[in-house]
Amino acid sequence: GAVVSQHPSWVICKSGTSVKIECRSLDFQATTMFWYRQFPKQSLMLMATSNEGSKATYEQGVEKDKFLINHASLTLSTLTVTSAHPEDSSFYICSVRGPYEQYFGPGTRLTVT
């Protein structure tokens, strides 16, 4: 399967600042990537679908101006959490769509103080 990396693996930031999370597909050309958010002991909630070279598709209730997604190449998608607040603290996971399954990255734990 595809190898997907995320950077950073964890980040602590102050309220009001912005944080960028990178998702890289190391051995698979990914035209479609997904961004999920997972709160403790809860399910994976899809935030948005990132398509290479076009605008991301956001799920209902996800603020597109707050969670900026850029998918500039077939191997890289970025999620920027703008003006982060403590309620944005969560585990953010990206995935790459393969021929059948999704390949998940290791996740980024964001803590906003």
Partner 1 sequence: QQPVQSPQAVILREGEDAVINCSSSKALYSVHWYRQKHGEAPVFLMILLKGGEQKGHEKISASFNEKKQQSSLYLTASQLSYSGTYFCGTEMENSGGSNYKLTFGKGTLLTVNP
Q: Which residues make up the interface to partner 1 (CB under 8 A)?
A: 1, 32, 34, 42-46, 49, 51, 57, 93, 97, 100-107, 109
Residue 30 beta carbon to partner 1: minimum distance, rounded to whole angstroms: 13
CB 111 within 8 A of CB 47: no
Q: Which is nearer to partner 1, 81 or 93 (CB)?
A: 93
**Left, alpha or beta for 83 (phi > 0: left; psi -120 to 50: alpha)?**
left
- Three-state secondary-structure class, residue 110: strand
Q: Which is nearer to partner 1, 1 or 8 (CB)?
A: 1
